[in-house]
Each structure stands twice: as C-alpha cells, then as structure tokens.
Amino acid sequence: MSDLLANLNPPQLQAVTLPPVHGLILAGAGSGKTRVLTTRIAWLISTGQVGPHGILAVTFTNKAAKEMTARLSSLVPINVRGMWIGTFHGLCNRLLRAHYREAGLPQTFQILDSADQLAMVKRLLKNLNIDDEKYPPRELCHFINAHKEQGVRAGQAEVYDNYTQKRVEIYAEYEAQCNREGVVDFAELLLRCYELLQRNEPLRAHYQQRFRHILVDEFQDTNVLQYAWLKLLAGGGANVFAVGDDDQSIYRFRGAEVGNMRDFERDYAAQNIIRLEQNYRSQGNILAAANAIIKNNRERLGKNLWTDAGEGEPIRAFEAYSDLDEARFVVEEIRELVRDGVVPTQIALLYRSNAQSRVLENELFTKNVPYKVYGGLRFFERQEIKHALAYLRLLGNPDDDTAFLRVVNFPTRGIGARSLENLQATAHQMNSSLYNAAASLTGKAGQTVGAFIRLIESLRQETEGLPLPEMVEHVIEKSGLAQHYRTEKEGQDRLENLDELINAAATFIDDEGAIGEGGALVSFLTLASLEAGEHQAGEGQEAVQLMSVHAAKGLEFDVVFITGLEQGLFPHENSVNEGKDGLEEERRLMYVAVTRARQRLYVSCAQTRMLHGQTRYCMPSSFLDEIPENLMRKLNKKAEATSAVPSFSAFGGGYAEPPASGGLRIGQTVEHAKFGIGVIVSTEGRGADARVQVNFGGSGMKWLALEYAKLTPV
Ligand code: ATP
Ligand code: MG
C-alpha cells in the first residue's frame, strides 16, 4: 500500500486519497492526472472502500482503457477483467448489449461508423427524392450528430425556417431507418443509453447503487450529453472524480464544452479542486515552449507548469523546401536516433491532418523503417475489411441494409443498379429490410438477388458453431472475396489484410475478457466499429508511431516530430474562418502536440506541399513564432545540404510554372500594405487583367488584381 502511494507529490497524494467526495483535478499536461486517476482506483480498492465491481472509469481511447487496466493489475492483486473501464462509447455499448430489450434494440444490433452513416444518409436522400446538392449528405450527418450530442431527437428539434424543417424531416427518416435496420451510429450509442437510464427507473437505480465511484479522464472534452449521462449514473450517491485540462480541450468543434468544468463545480458542489503544477514528462525547454505558446490564448482558467528536470535539449526547427524534403529530413533523423539506441516506439511523428501521412509513410517505407499509423487509413475502414465485416454483419443481423448494400453485388454477381432500385422501392413500400423484401422480387432481379440471399443463408448454416477465426476465414473464402482479390492486380495487399482480420479474430478470442453479451461475433464486430483507427496490423513490432495530433492526446514519447507547421495547415485554414475561437482551439492542439515530448522535440515546415492533388505554397506557422528563439536551434543549414531541389517548379508532378505576371512568379514572397507578408500561389491573366492568388497566412487566401494591389517582392 505504501508502495502505491510512494513517489506521489503532495497534491497528487491529496487527490489520490480524497475521502469519498466529489473531486475535480484541474491540471496541465504531464502533471500526472492519468496517473493520479489510476492510482486512486487502486487505492480505493486496496483499502477496501469499494470492490472492482463498484468502479466506473471513463477514458479517452480504448488504448488508454487497456493501459489503465494493465496498470491497475500491476498495482493491486485483483482480477481486472470485466471491470467497467472504457470510453463513453464502449461503456454505453456494453450497457445497451446487456439491456438491449429495454433499449428497444435487436440483440445483435450493429454499429454504424461514420462512413456507414454517410452512405445511409445518401441512400435516404435518393429514396426520398431529395436534392443532395441542396442538402449535402455530410452536412446532414453533422446536423444529426450535433442534435444527438445535445440530446435532441428529431421530434424535439427546433425549426426556424423551411430549410431546417426539411433537415429535421430527414433526421426523423434517418432515425426510423436506423430502427428498421436495427443499427445505431456513434452518437446514438450514447443517446440511447442515456434515454434508457432516464426512462427506466429500476435499471437506473441498479447502476446508481452499483457504481460507487465514477472517474473520468480528459474531462475537458466531454460534451453536453456525456456530461448528462455521467450525472444520471452518479445519481445522488456516487462520488465523481474528474480530471482535465482546459488548455487541452480540442473537441469544441464536436460539441465538447469547457463549461462542463464550471458546471461540475456547481452541480457537484465540488469543494475539492486540486491543481497539479509540476510536470514530470517534459524537459525544461519543451515545457517552456508549451507555456509560451498557450499563454497567447485568452480564454483560459489559467495555470503554469514547472519542472525540475533541467532545460534539456533545444527544440530543433527545420524549414524544408518541400514536403518530400521534410519527410527525408525526418526519416534521416529517425534513422540516426535509432542507431543511437532510441526505441522506435518512443518516436512519434505527428501531423494536423491525416492526409499528411502519405508522404511520410512513403519515405519511411522506402528507407525500410518500420512504422505504425494510428487513424488515417484505418485497418477496420479498409475496403476489403469492410466487405468481410459486412458479410459477417449480415450473418448476425440480416436486416442491416447498410451491410446488405455493401456486398449484395460484391464480388459482382450481375445485380444491376435497376434491380437494386427496385428492391429498395419494394422494401420502402413494405416497410421492411432489403433482405426481407428480396423474396418479393420477381424476374431476373428475383433470381440474382435470390442467389445472394441463399449464399448468406448457407454461410450462416456452415459457420454455425464454428470458432470465430474459422468463421471469419470461412466467410472470406466462401463469399468469393478471397477469389476476387486473388485475381485483382493489386489484390495481394488486400489479401494480407484479410489474413490479418483472421488473426485479429484469433487474438480477440484469446483475450477472453473481451467477449461480452451477445456472443463472440457480435463482440468482435463491435470492436471493429469502436476501435477503428486504434488497431493496426502488425501490432507488437518495434515501429515508429504516426498519428494525428488529436489521436496523440494523453500519450507521451521520448522524441516527437511535429510536421507540417504551416499557415493554413496548422493552424488549419478552417479555423481561420472561425475567428479567434478557431485559432485558440488550434493553439490548444499545438499545446497538446508539444507536451507529448519527453526529451526531444522537432518542429518542421515545408515551403511547398502536395495536398489533395495540388501543390500549395506555404508560410511557416504563426505558432513557430510563438516559441521563444532562445529555446530553438535552427537546422536550416542541413536543409540546403540535403535538398537537391532547384526550384519550386520542380514539384507537383509536371506542374509547369505559369508565365510571369507583372514580374511576379509563383512561390515568390510579397508584401501587401493591409494583408502583410504572403506567398503567391497562382497567377491568372496577363497585362491589365493579371491577377495573383496570395496566401497571407493568418489573413487567409486572397485574389488580387495586380493593377490595383500594390505588392512588393520581399
Ligand atoms: P496529459 O495531460 O498529457 O494527459 P497527465 O496529466 O495525464 O498528462 P500523466 O500521463 O499521468 O500526466 O503523467 C505524465 C508522466 O509523468 C507519466 O510518465 C507519469 O508516470 C509521470 N509522473 C506523474 N507523476 C509522477 C511523480 N509523482 N513522480 C514521477 N513521475 C510521475
Ligand atoms: Mg492524461
């Protein structure tokens, strides 16, 4: 026990050993919030105040949940399997699985990921004959999710004009369709669970009595509904212990509310607000940079972190000519670090947008450096994996139209678009699933679709009682998927991924604690939808870690590279349009990125970058200017030495430099009296008509007529 509490500083110790009351720990990055939370669970259990059964802990990712469980079992001799430690989504899923009937769901309900959701909305618009240009499907998904995250059903949504009226109608149709198919989207997991607890008094009382201690990590990123869910579960009796950092709130665009911190103080009459200010993660220079950056934000609860770790190394800054050049630099450094004995898993490569990873991956691959990407091209979101999962989903729940449509004609079995439209119309009329409606089809459509139905039926019979990995293997083989990819030119990769899916099923089974209510298949499919982006093929290899800054939250690494520090990329251009709040959120994201590093931090940017098929000319991020010069060492000399790049026009796959306009050319840095310094990104017209497009960074992208705008080359 004393071991448990050894090495905690006084405020940490106070937090861990708070008497059974509500507590809020408000503290900066790396100050030990997660450690305190985990140790508190261990302390509560080992002092006999509560059994493992009475704990509910919410973490930010499934990865974090696993780490917490592992840590716990090393701290206290208990069986941690089956403990309620997980993400909001994971915990709600578990509760709904256990009480599917009360929640009005089929036992085998499936989870729609965001791609599935988008597909369903598109399908609905088509069925309802709604113009998808006027009502863009992506925007509708956002509309639906935002309402659900506020706890608002279609029937309760506020209607203030005809346009919204229509969107609310689509929302209602979408809800009905999900119910018909027995599927739930991410936001629905939470809302459904919340409504269930609210409506069902005995159930609520049961869980309220059961969970004596509710602990929440990354509290700053909880949204309105999550907050309400916690409050409901806590009832009057449980003790809520929340840890968070307002400076790391990076999901406001998704409805997370920092106001929750203030609400917490009010709702729980929290008298125990503990601040932790010593940072144990980063060396002094890194922490000083983080502090200097976040100081520029106005909307803060305010705190300053310190460390006694010493200054450590300077922050290494590199300005590359191009994204390729940047990738070369990064990979070269990584190779050197590994040669010097740094463990590859202790090196993280961070970027603002997943699209940036391609160039880095390419270079890592070419130089034979093992790497692992979290997020981005997600294992469970790859086409071949989704196809295989769709077959498996149909075995569990034939009414799952999304899965049905994904594979009814994949591999092709001669089912045309006309037949499918027919089928959809019939299903719509009969108010039934596509699978059920198939029996009423006649003619050729009846035959081809009928054959598909028979295939699914026979797959179901053949796999009944088989262990999960064999079931997966059988489905991949007998559905025709394997054969399809064997004959495809670039199918090898996909076949390997399918093998990996069988492996994933096998590992899943070994980890028996993972199997929940509803059986192995349902649990496995749930994992696939909830863990998309967190699981990677080739786990266990000593690999460099690649991920977006969002995905890096809560993690730490010896060495961190923050790449693509360019205006418009990081801070992201979307944030510029949102004014001050947008920029502050980007800055918090930058703060998160910087504070992931323990010993060494690299920051880099490129002058040109290929993104979404276009070459962009970029200015260094304003965040770089916020790092005090004396903390940095510029490595530019190396750039000239390693780069064999003669001029801008050499980039962009055959991009020809347009003719000079008024003596200005693409890539040139210019100054404008009002907008400041910018880089010319394209030109058009000649003579009196000549216009140039300039990226002014913080002031955005502008088209300027050369005749009027005074631009001075700098
Ligand atoms: P973040 O805000 O990034 O989530 P955090 O506040 O949760 O950070 P932790 O991850 O819990 O911080 O801790 C950061 C690091 O500091 C971890 O490696 C942890 O083990 C270590 N640490 C925390 N407290 C102490 C301590 N008292 N003594 C030694 N190391 C500590
Ligand atoms: Mg943490």
Structure confidence at residue 658 as a pLDDT band (50, 70, 90): very low
> Which atom of ligand 1 is least distant from the CA of 38?
11
Dist CA 513 CA 515 (whole Å):
6
Task: Calculate how far, in angstroms, residue 711's C-alpha sits from the geometric centre of ligand 2.
Answer: 48
Dist CA 68 CA 354 (whole Å):
27
- 380-513: CATH topology is PCRA; domain 4 (1.10.486)
The 10 Å Cβ neighbour count of residue 64 is 22
Q: Which residue among the candidates 116, 149, 218, 246 is catalytic per the annotation?
A: 218
The pLDDT score that the predictor gives to residue 255 is: 62
Dist CA 557 CA 347 (whole Å):
6
CATH 1.10.10.160 fits 110-181, yes or no: yes
Dist CA 433 CA 128 (whole Å):
16
Could you give the ipTM of this predicted complex?
A: 0.99
Determine whether 307 is an active site residue: no
Task: Calculate how far, in angstroms, residue 593's C-alpha sits from the geometric centre of ligand 2.
Answer: 13
The pLDDT score that the predictor gives to residue 655 is: 28
Determine whether 262 is an active site residue: no
Residue 572 forms beta bridges with which residues? 568, 569
Averaged pLDDT score across all residues of the chain: 86
Determine whether 596 is an active site residue: yes
Interval 329-380: pLDDT, tens: 999 999 999 999 999 999 999 999 877 887 898 899 888 898 888 764 456 6
Encoding tokens for residue 707? Answer: 């005749």
- pLDDT higher than 60, residue 513: no
- pLDDT higher than 80, residue 56: yes
State if residue 249 touches ligand 1 by the CB under 6 angstroms criterion. no
State if residue 113 touches ligand 1 by the CB under 6 angstroms criterion. no
b/e string for 33-58 if b means 16 or more Cβ within 10 A? bbbbbbbbbbbbbeeeebebebbbbb
- pLDDT higher than 70, residue 687: no
The pLDDT score that the predictor gives to residue 639 is: 39
On the question of a common fold for 110-181 and 380-513, the answer reads no
Determine whether 399 is an active site residue: no
Q: Which residue among the candidates 38, 248, 402, 599 is catalytic per the annotation?
A: 248
Helix (H) or strand (E) segment spanning residue 604 = strand 597-611
- CA-to-CA separations, 648 to 274, 390, 538, 618, 638, in angstroms, rounded: 53, 46, 38, 12, 19
Task: Calculate how far, in angstroms, residue 39's C-alpha sits from the geometric centre of ligand 1.
Answer: 11
- pLDDT higher than 70, residue 540: no
The binding site for ATP consists of 27-34
Q: Which residue among the candidates 217, 400, 531, 584 is catalytic per the annotation?
A: 217
State if residue 280 touches ligand 1 by the CB under 6 angstroms criterion. yes
CA 366 from centroid of its chain's CA atoms: 27
Q: What is the mean pLDDT of residues 278-298?
A: 95
Residue nearest atom 23 of ligand 1, based on CA coordinates: 32
- Between β-strands 273-276 and 23-27, what pairing exists: parallel, antiparallel or unpaired? parallel
State if residue 305 touches ligand 1 by the CB under 6 angstroms criterion. no
> Which mutation among 25, 34, 220 tests ligand 1's pocket best, with the greatest number of atoms within 8 A of CB?
34
Dist CA 249 CA 257 (whole Å):
8
CATH 3.40.50.300 fits 2-97+194-276, yes or no: yes
The pLDDT score that the predictor gives to residue 537 is: 39
State if residue 32 touches ligand 1 by the CB under 6 angstroms criterion. yes
Helical packing angle, 443-463 and 468-478, nearest 10°: 150
Residue 672 forms beta bridges with which residues? 676, 711
Architecture of domain 657-714: Roll (2.30)
- pLDDT higher than 50, residue 653: no
The structural domains of the chain, with segments of one domain joined by +, span 2-97+194-276, 110-181, 282-378+536-645, 380-513, 657-714
Residue 24 forms beta bridges with which residues? 242, 273
- 282-378+536-645: CATH topology is Rossmann fold (3.40.50)
Dist CA 644 CA 667 (whole Å):
17
Ligand number with the minimum distance to the CA of 555: 1
CB 522 within 8 A of CB 482: no
Dist CA 601 CA 30 (whole Å):
15
* Residue percentage of the chain with pLDDT more than 90: 53
Q: Which residue among the candidates 316, 596, 616, 691 is catalytic per the annotation?
A: 596
Encoding tokens for residue 706? Answer: 């050369």
Interval 392-430: pLDDT, tens: 999 989 999 989 999 999 998 888 888 888 899 999 889
Dist CA 47 CA 306 (whole Å):
32
State if residue 12 touches ligand 1 by the CB under 6 angstroms criterion. yes
> Which mutation among 280, 350, 589, 598 tests ligand 1's pocket best, with the greatest number of atoms within 8 A of CB?
280
CA 171 from centroid of its chain's CA atoms: 24
CA 334 from centroid of its chain's CA atoms: 25
Determine whether 218 is an active site residue: yes
Determine whether 217 is an active site residue: yes
Task: Calculate how far, in angstroms, residue 21's C-alpha sits from the geometric centre of ligand 1.
Answer: 23
State if residue 61 touches ligand 1 by the CB under 6 angstroms criterion. no
> Which mutation among 281, 303, 560 tests ligand 1's pocket best, with the greatest number of atoms within 8 A of CB?
281
State if residue 533 touches ligand 1 by the CB under 6 angstroms criterion. no
CB 107 within 8 A of CB 74: no
State if residue 494 touches ligand 1 by the CB under 6 angstroms criterion. no
The pLDDT score that the predictor gives to residue 644 is: 39
